[in-house]
Amino acid sequence: MRRQFLKTAAAVLTTGVAAIGFGSSAIAQDAAEFYKDNVIKWIVPYDPGGGYDEYSRIIAPYLEKYSGARVDIVNMPGSGGMKGAVEIFNSPADGTYIGIINGSAMVTNQLAQIEGADYRVSEYEYLGRIVADKRVLVASKLSGIETFEDLMQNGEPEIVGATGLGGSTYVDAVITGDVLGIEQRVVHGFDRSGDIRTAMLRGDVHAMWGSLGSALKGIKSGDHTVILHGEKNPTGVLEGIPSIYDVAGAQDDAERKVRILESWEALSAVGRPVAAPPGVPEDRLAFLREAFSAAMNDPEFVAAAADADRDLLFASGEEMGSIAAAATELEPDVEQLFVAAIRGEI
Protein backbone atom coordinates (compact mmCIF):
# COMPACT_ATOMS: atom_id res chain seq x y z
CA MET A 1 0.00 0.00 0.00
CA ARG A 2 2.90 2.28 0.76
CA ARG A 3 4.28 1.78 -2.68
CA GLN A 4 0.93 2.57 -4.12
CA PHE A 5 0.87 5.69 -2.00
CA LEU A 6 4.25 6.79 -3.30
CA LYS A 7 3.14 6.07 -6.81
CA THR A 8 0.03 8.15 -6.33
CA ALA A 9 1.98 10.90 -4.63
CA ALA A 10 4.36 10.99 -7.59
CA ALA A 11 1.44 10.99 -9.99
CA VAL A 12 -0.31 13.82 -8.18
CA LEU A 13 2.93 15.77 -8.12
CA THR A 14 3.45 15.28 -11.84
CA THR A 15 -0.11 16.28 -12.56
CA GLY A 16 0.37 19.33 -10.40
CA VAL A 17 3.56 20.36 -12.18
CA ALA A 18 1.94 19.70 -15.54
CA ALA A 19 -1.09 21.76 -14.55
CA ILE A 20 1.13 24.71 -13.55
CA GLY A 21 3.09 24.34 -16.78
CA PHE A 22 0.12 24.34 -19.07
CA GLY A 23 -1.99 26.65 -16.94
CA SER A 24 -4.07 28.66 -19.31
CA SER A 25 -3.92 26.27 -22.23
CA ALA A 26 -5.52 23.50 -20.12
CA ILE A 27 -8.86 25.21 -20.51
CA ALA A 28 -8.65 24.90 -24.25
CA GLN A 29 -7.94 21.18 -24.16
CA ASP A 30 -10.93 19.07 -24.90
CA ALA A 31 -11.83 16.23 -22.55
CA ALA A 32 -10.21 13.42 -24.55
CA GLU A 33 -6.93 15.28 -24.65
CA PHE A 34 -7.21 16.06 -20.95
CA TYR A 35 -7.42 12.41 -20.03
CA LYS A 36 -4.80 11.16 -22.45
CA ASP A 37 -1.82 10.02 -20.33
CA ASN A 38 -3.39 11.70 -17.31
CA VAL A 39 -3.93 9.81 -14.05
CA ILE A 40 -7.34 8.99 -12.63
CA LYS A 41 -7.37 8.19 -8.93
CA TRP A 42 -9.99 5.52 -8.23
CA ILE A 43 -10.90 5.29 -4.55
CA VAL A 44 -12.08 1.98 -3.08
CA PRO A 45 -13.58 2.52 0.37
CA TYR A 46 -12.70 -1.00 1.53
CA ASP A 47 -9.62 -3.20 1.95
CA PRO A 48 -8.03 -4.96 -1.00
CA GLY A 49 -9.59 -8.32 -1.66
CA GLY A 50 -13.21 -7.50 -1.00
CA GLY A 51 -15.95 -7.39 -3.63
CA TYR A 52 -15.62 -3.63 -4.17
CA ASP A 53 -11.90 -3.97 -4.66
CA GLU A 54 -12.26 -6.88 -7.04
CA TYR A 55 -14.83 -5.14 -9.23
CA SER A 56 -12.57 -2.08 -9.35
CA ARG A 57 -9.51 -4.05 -10.34
CA ILE A 58 -11.32 -5.98 -13.03
CA ILE A 59 -12.78 -2.89 -14.67
CA ALA A 60 -9.81 -0.52 -14.28
CA PRO A 61 -7.87 -1.79 -17.35
CA TYR A 62 -10.95 -1.30 -19.52
CA LEU A 63 -11.55 2.19 -18.24
CA GLU A 64 -7.90 2.87 -19.10
CA LYS A 65 -8.51 1.48 -22.55
CA TYR A 66 -11.44 3.79 -23.29
CA SER A 67 -10.28 6.93 -21.49
CA GLY A 68 -6.59 6.88 -22.39
CA ALA A 69 -5.75 7.71 -18.79
CA ARG A 70 -3.97 5.58 -16.22
CA VAL A 71 -6.26 4.41 -13.43
CA ASP A 72 -4.66 4.16 -9.99
CA ILE A 73 -6.65 2.25 -7.42
CA VAL A 74 -6.38 3.58 -3.88
CA ASN A 75 -7.88 1.60 -1.02
CA MET A 76 -9.27 3.79 1.74
CA PRO A 77 -11.14 1.63 4.25
CA GLY A 78 -12.83 2.99 7.34
CA SER A 79 -16.18 3.77 8.97
CA GLY A 80 -17.93 1.02 7.03
CA GLY A 81 -17.09 2.60 3.69
CA MET A 82 -17.99 6.14 4.72
CA LYS A 83 -14.41 7.37 4.92
CA GLY A 84 -13.81 6.62 1.25
CA ALA A 85 -17.22 7.96 0.21
CA VAL A 86 -16.51 11.24 1.99
CA GLU A 87 -13.06 11.34 0.40
CA ILE A 88 -14.60 11.05 -3.06
CA PHE A 89 -17.24 13.64 -2.24
CA ASN A 90 -14.66 16.18 -1.09
CA SER A 91 -11.90 15.53 -3.63
CA PRO A 92 -11.09 18.09 -6.36
CA ALA A 93 -13.85 18.13 -8.96
CA ASP A 94 -11.51 18.17 -11.95
CA GLY A 95 -12.53 14.74 -13.17
CA THR A 96 -9.36 12.95 -12.00
CA TYR A 97 -10.91 11.64 -8.78
CA ILE A 98 -13.55 8.95 -8.92
CA GLY A 99 -14.42 5.89 -6.87
CA ILE A 100 -16.78 3.07 -6.19
CA ILE A 101 -19.19 3.44 -3.27
CA ASN A 102 -21.48 1.19 -1.30
CA GLY A 103 -24.55 3.04 -2.51
CA SER A 104 -27.25 1.38 -0.41
CA ALA A 105 -25.32 1.66 2.85
CA MET A 106 -24.41 5.27 2.11
CA VAL A 107 -28.11 6.04 1.59
CA THR A 108 -29.18 4.45 4.86
CA ASN A 109 -26.37 6.16 6.79
CA GLN A 110 -27.38 9.47 5.29
CA LEU A 111 -31.07 8.94 6.11
CA ALA A 112 -30.28 8.08 9.72
CA GLN A 113 -27.82 10.98 9.90
CA ILE A 114 -25.10 8.76 11.26
CA GLU A 115 -21.98 10.58 12.40
CA GLY A 116 -19.43 10.69 9.61
CA ALA A 117 -21.99 10.59 6.79
CA ASP A 118 -20.68 13.91 5.45
CA TYR A 119 -21.82 13.48 1.85
CA ARG A 120 -25.08 13.69 -0.10
CA VAL A 121 -25.78 10.59 -2.17
CA SER A 122 -27.93 12.50 -4.66
CA GLU A 123 -25.25 15.15 -5.25
CA TYR A 124 -22.46 12.90 -6.52
CA GLU A 125 -21.88 12.93 -10.27
CA TYR A 126 -22.31 9.32 -11.35
CA LEU A 127 -20.39 7.57 -14.12
CA GLY A 128 -22.79 4.66 -13.84
CA ARG A 129 -23.51 1.57 -11.81
CA ILE A 130 -21.57 -1.70 -11.95
CA VAL A 131 -24.02 -3.92 -10.14
CA ALA A 132 -26.92 -3.93 -7.71
CA ASP A 133 -27.53 -6.74 -5.28
CA LYS A 134 -30.55 -8.97 -5.54
CA ARG A 135 -31.75 -9.30 -1.97
CA VAL A 136 -32.90 -12.72 -0.84
CA LEU A 137 -34.10 -14.30 2.40
CA VAL A 138 -32.43 -17.68 2.91
CA ALA A 139 -33.37 -20.30 5.47
CA SER A 140 -31.02 -22.97 6.75
CA LYS A 141 -31.61 -26.62 6.07
CA LEU A 142 -31.52 -27.34 9.81
CA SER A 143 -34.45 -25.01 10.48
CA GLY A 144 -36.78 -27.24 8.49
CA ILE A 145 -38.13 -24.19 6.68
CA GLU A 146 -38.36 -24.83 2.97
CA THR A 147 -40.82 -22.21 1.79
CA PHE A 148 -42.03 -18.82 2.93
CA GLU A 149 -45.32 -20.49 3.94
CA ASP A 150 -43.44 -22.75 6.35
CA LEU A 151 -41.91 -19.67 7.93
CA MET A 152 -45.27 -17.97 8.38
CA GLN A 153 -47.06 -21.05 9.69
CA ASN A 154 -44.36 -22.23 12.03
CA GLY A 155 -46.16 -20.79 15.05
CA GLU A 156 -43.05 -19.56 16.83
CA PRO A 157 -40.83 -16.59 16.02
CA GLU A 158 -37.99 -17.39 13.67
CA ILE A 159 -34.48 -16.29 14.59
CA VAL A 160 -33.14 -14.08 11.84
CA GLY A 161 -29.45 -13.24 12.02
CA ALA A 162 -28.01 -9.82 11.18
CA THR A 163 -24.73 -7.89 11.37
CA GLY A 164 -24.55 -4.48 12.99
CA LEU A 165 -27.46 -2.18 13.70
CA GLY A 166 -28.26 -0.30 10.49
CA GLY A 167 -26.37 -2.76 8.26
CA SER A 168 -28.24 -4.03 5.22
CA THR A 169 -28.86 -7.51 6.66
CA TYR A 170 -30.48 -5.81 9.63
CA VAL A 171 -32.53 -3.18 7.80
CA ASP A 172 -33.81 -5.76 5.29
CA ALA A 173 -34.97 -8.10 8.02
CA VAL A 174 -36.66 -5.42 10.10
CA ILE A 175 -38.46 -3.66 7.24
CA THR A 176 -39.76 -6.74 5.47
CA GLY A 177 -40.63 -8.31 8.80
CA ASP A 178 -42.57 -5.24 9.84
CA VAL A 179 -44.38 -4.79 6.52
CA LEU A 180 -45.20 -8.44 5.89
CA GLY A 181 -45.94 -9.24 9.52
CA ILE A 182 -43.31 -11.99 9.82
CA GLU A 183 -43.06 -13.43 13.30
CA GLN A 184 -39.34 -13.14 13.92
CA ARG A 185 -36.64 -12.31 16.39
CA VAL A 186 -33.75 -10.46 14.80
CA VAL A 187 -30.47 -11.33 16.47
CA HIS A 188 -27.89 -8.78 15.41
CA GLY A 189 -24.29 -8.24 16.41
CA PHE A 190 -22.53 -10.70 14.11
CA ASP A 191 -19.24 -9.34 12.78
CA ARG A 192 -19.79 -10.15 9.15
CA SER A 193 -22.40 -11.94 7.09
CA GLY A 194 -20.14 -15.01 6.94
CA ASP A 195 -20.52 -15.41 10.69
CA ILE A 196 -24.30 -15.48 10.32
CA ARG A 197 -23.92 -18.22 7.74
CA THR A 198 -21.82 -20.26 10.17
CA ALA A 199 -24.48 -19.72 12.85
CA MET A 200 -27.09 -21.00 10.39
CA LEU A 201 -24.99 -24.09 9.73
CA ARG A 202 -24.80 -24.69 13.47
CA GLY A 203 -28.55 -24.22 13.83
CA ASP A 204 -28.24 -21.15 16.09
CA VAL A 205 -29.95 -18.94 13.51
CA HIS A 206 -32.76 -19.97 11.16
CA ALA A 207 -32.67 -17.41 8.40
CA MET A 208 -30.96 -14.28 7.11
CA TRP A 209 -31.28 -11.59 4.48
CA GLY A 210 -28.38 -11.11 2.12
CA SER A 211 -27.33 -10.66 -1.46
CA LEU A 212 -28.01 -13.48 -3.88
CA GLY A 213 -24.37 -13.39 -4.96
CA SER A 214 -23.00 -14.29 -1.53
CA ALA A 215 -25.80 -16.79 -0.85
CA LEU A 216 -25.21 -18.78 -4.04
CA LYS A 217 -22.52 -21.02 -2.59
CA GLY A 218 -24.78 -22.18 0.24
CA ILE A 219 -27.70 -22.64 -2.14
CA LYS A 220 -25.60 -24.79 -4.48
CA SER A 221 -24.35 -26.99 -1.65
CA GLY A 222 -27.88 -27.41 -0.31
CA ASP A 223 -27.14 -25.80 3.08
CA HIS A 224 -29.48 -22.88 2.46
CA THR A 225 -32.78 -22.38 0.61
CA VAL A 226 -34.07 -19.11 -0.79
CA ILE A 227 -37.62 -18.60 0.48
CA LEU A 228 -38.29 -14.97 -0.42
CA HIS A 229 -36.73 -12.28 -2.61
CA GLY A 230 -37.15 -8.67 -3.68
CA GLU A 231 -37.24 -9.06 -7.46
CA LYS A 232 -40.30 -8.09 -9.48
CA ASN A 233 -39.14 -10.19 -12.44
CA PRO A 234 -37.25 -13.11 -10.95
CA THR A 235 -34.87 -15.04 -13.18
CA GLY A 236 -32.52 -18.00 -12.72
CA VAL A 237 -32.58 -19.66 -9.30
CA LEU A 238 -35.23 -17.22 -8.08
CA GLU A 239 -37.85 -18.38 -10.56
CA GLY A 240 -40.85 -19.93 -8.87
CA ILE A 241 -39.99 -18.48 -5.46
CA PRO A 242 -42.44 -15.87 -4.11
CA SER A 243 -41.32 -12.26 -4.03
CA ILE A 244 -42.12 -9.74 -1.32
CA TYR A 245 -44.61 -8.19 -3.76
CA ASP A 246 -46.47 -11.48 -4.18
CA VAL A 247 -46.75 -11.78 -0.42
CA ALA A 248 -47.73 -8.15 0.20
CA GLY A 249 -50.23 -8.18 -2.69
CA ALA A 250 -52.21 -10.95 -1.04
CA GLN A 251 -52.38 -9.15 2.32
CA ASP A 252 -54.61 -6.36 3.63
CA ASP A 253 -53.53 -2.81 2.96
CA ALA A 254 -51.61 -4.10 -0.05
CA GLU A 255 -51.16 -0.73 -1.73
CA ARG A 256 -49.35 0.91 1.20
CA LYS A 257 -47.21 -2.17 1.73
CA VAL A 258 -46.14 -2.36 -1.89
CA ARG A 259 -45.31 1.36 -1.80
CA ILE A 260 -42.96 0.84 1.18
CA LEU A 261 -41.39 -2.23 -0.37
CA GLU A 262 -40.75 -0.36 -3.60
CA SER A 263 -38.85 2.28 -1.67
CA TRP A 264 -36.92 -0.50 0.04
CA GLU A 265 -36.07 -1.93 -3.35
CA ALA A 266 -34.93 1.52 -4.47
CA LEU A 267 -32.35 1.33 -1.67
CA SER A 268 -30.85 -1.86 -3.07
CA ALA A 269 -31.06 -0.46 -6.60
CA VAL A 270 -28.40 2.13 -5.73
CA GLY A 271 -26.05 -0.85 -5.54
CA ARG A 272 -22.40 -0.26 -6.32
CA PRO A 273 -22.09 2.88 -8.44
CA VAL A 274 -18.96 4.68 -9.61
CA ALA A 275 -19.11 8.27 -8.45
CA ALA A 276 -17.23 11.53 -8.91
CA PRO A 277 -17.42 14.58 -6.65
CA PRO A 278 -20.15 17.15 -7.39
CA GLY A 279 -19.21 19.85 -9.90
CA VAL A 280 -17.03 17.96 -12.38
CA PRO A 281 -16.89 19.98 -15.67
CA GLU A 282 -19.64 18.80 -17.98
CA ASP A 283 -17.49 17.80 -20.95
CA ARG A 284 -15.21 15.70 -18.76
CA LEU A 285 -18.15 14.05 -17.01
CA ALA A 286 -19.73 13.21 -20.37
CA PHE A 287 -16.42 11.77 -21.56
CA LEU A 288 -15.99 9.67 -18.40
CA ARG A 289 -19.55 8.38 -18.62
CA GLU A 290 -19.00 7.34 -22.19
CA ALA A 291 -15.72 5.63 -21.37
CA PHE A 292 -17.29 3.84 -18.39
CA SER A 293 -20.24 2.68 -20.45
CA ALA A 294 -17.91 1.41 -23.18
CA ALA A 295 -15.80 -0.41 -20.58
CA MET A 296 -18.85 -2.01 -18.95
CA ASN A 297 -20.04 -3.24 -22.32
CA ASP A 298 -16.68 -4.48 -23.58
CA PRO A 299 -17.12 -8.21 -24.27
CA GLU A 300 -13.70 -8.96 -22.80
CA PHE A 301 -14.66 -7.22 -19.55
CA VAL A 302 -17.99 -9.02 -19.41
CA ALA A 303 -16.15 -12.32 -19.83
CA ALA A 304 -13.61 -11.39 -17.14
CA ALA A 305 -16.39 -10.55 -14.69
CA ALA A 306 -18.18 -13.80 -15.49
CA ASP A 307 -14.92 -15.68 -14.91
CA ALA A 308 -14.67 -14.20 -11.45
CA ASP A 309 -18.33 -15.10 -10.76
CA ARG A 310 -19.14 -11.42 -10.42
CA ASP A 311 -22.61 -10.30 -11.55
CA LEU A 312 -23.06 -7.14 -13.55
CA LEU A 313 -26.08 -4.86 -13.72
CA PHE A 314 -25.11 -1.76 -15.61
CA ALA A 315 -26.98 1.50 -15.30
CA SER A 316 -25.82 4.66 -17.05
CA GLY A 317 -24.70 7.77 -15.22
CA GLU A 318 -27.95 9.58 -15.96
CA GLU A 319 -30.02 6.63 -14.77
CA MET A 320 -27.93 6.44 -11.61
CA GLY A 321 -28.72 10.09 -10.92
CA SER A 322 -32.42 9.34 -10.84
CA ILE A 323 -31.97 6.08 -8.90
CA ALA A 324 -30.01 7.95 -6.22
CA ALA A 325 -32.68 10.65 -6.09
CA ALA A 326 -35.47 8.07 -5.79
CA ALA A 327 -33.67 6.34 -2.93
CA THR A 328 -33.06 9.50 -0.92
CA GLU A 329 -36.25 11.45 -1.56
CA LEU A 330 -38.71 9.29 0.33
CA GLU A 331 -42.28 9.99 1.35
CA PRO A 332 -42.35 11.15 4.98
CA ASP A 333 -44.05 8.03 6.40
CA VAL A 334 -41.69 5.70 4.56
CA GLU A 335 -38.66 7.73 5.60
CA GLN A 336 -39.79 7.61 9.20
CA LEU A 337 -40.10 3.84 9.05
CA PHE A 338 -36.67 3.46 7.46
CA VAL A 339 -34.94 5.75 9.91
CA ALA A 340 -36.56 3.86 12.79
CA ALA A 341 -35.39 0.58 11.26
CA ILE A 342 -31.83 1.80 10.76
CA ARG A 343 -31.64 3.10 14.31
CA GLY A 344 -33.00 -0.13 15.71
CA GLU A 345 -36.20 1.41 17.04
CA ILE A 346 -38.57 -1.15 15.53
Partner 1 sequence: MTILEGMISGFWQSISLSVFPYLFVGSVFGLIIGVIPGLSGHFAMAMAVTFLYQMEPAAGIAFILGAHATVAQGGGLTAILFSTPGTGQNAATLLDGPQMRDKGEAGIAVGAAMASCFLGATFGALVLGLLIPVLREVVLFFGPPEVFVLAFLALTFVAVLGKEDMTRSLIAALLGLLLAMIGVDNVTNTHRFTMGSERLADGLQLVPVILGLFAVAEMIDLWVRGGSLARNMPKALSAKETQAQIFQGIGLAFKNWWLVMRCSAIGTAMGLIPGLGSAPASFVAYGHAKQSSPDRETFGTGNVKGVIGPESANDAVEGGALASTIAFGIPGSSSMAILLSGLFILGLDTGPQMLNQNVDIIFIMIFTIIIGNFIGTLFGMFLVNPLSRATSIRATIMVPVLMAIIATGAFAGERAIFDIGVAVTFGILGYVMKILNYSRAALLIGFVLGFAVEKNLYLALLLDGPLFVLQPIPLGLATVTVVFLVWNVWVIIRDRKRVIPIEPKA
Stretch binding partner 1 (CB under 8 A), from 125-133, 149-157, 173-181, 188-196 = 188-196
Helical pair 299-307 and 51-67, crossing angle rounded to 10 deg: 160
The upper half-sphere exposure of residue 121, i.e. CA atoms within 13 Å in the direction of its Cβ, equals: 29
CB of 198 to partner 1, least distance (A): 5
Distance CA 60, CA 98 (A): 12
Closer residue to partner 1 in complex, CB, 169/243 = 169
CB of 29 to partner 1, least distance (A): 32
Closer residue to partner 1 in complex, CB, 51/271 = 51
Q: Residue 114, interface with partner 1 (CB under 8 A)?
A: yes
For residues 69 and 40, the answer to whether their CB atoms sit within 8 Å is yes
**Which of 38, 40, 43, 51 contacts partner 1 by CB under 8 A?**
51
Closer residue to partner 1 in complex, CB, 188/257 = 188
Q: Residue 189, interface with partner 1 (CB under 8 A)?
A: yes
CA-closest candidate to residue 139, choices 200, 182, 202: 200
Closer residue to partner 1 in complex, CB, 57/70 = 57
Stretch binding partner 1 (CB under 8 A), from 108-116, 128-136, 293-301, 311-319 = 108-116
β-strand pairing of 135-140 with 224-229: antiparallel
Closer residue to partner 1 in complex, CB, 111/266 = 111
Give the full edge-to-edge strand order of the sheet including 158-162: 184-188, 158-162, 207-211, 135-140, 224-229
User: What's the burial of 318, exposed, middle or buried (CB within 10 Å: 0-12/13-18/19+)?
Assistant: exposed
Q: Residue 5, interface with partner 1 (CB under 8 A)?
A: yes
**Which of 99, 103, 128, 166 contacts partner 1 by CB under 8 A?**
166
Distance CA 274, CA 99 (A): 5
Distance CA 327, CA 321 (A): 10
CA-closest candidate to residue 119, choices 134, 99, 140: 99
Q: Which helix (H) or strand (E) holds 207?
A: strand 207-211
- By CB under 8 A, what part of segment 215-244 binds partner 1? 217, 221
Give the full edge-to-edge strand order of the sheet including 125-131: 70-75, 39-44, 97-100, 272-276, 125-131, 315-316
Give the binding-site size for partner 1 (rule: CB under 8 A). 48
**Which of 129, 197, 224, 284 contacts partner 1 by CB under 8 A?**
197
- By CB under 8 A, what part of segment 60-79 binds partner 1? 75-79
Closer residue to partner 1 in complex, CB, 59/330 = 59
Q: Would you tell me which residues interact with partner 1 (CB under 8 A)?
A: 1-3, 5, 47-51, 53-54, 57-58, 75-79, 114-116, 159, 163-166, 187-192, 194-195, 197-199, 201-202, 204-205, 217, 221, 307-309, 343-344
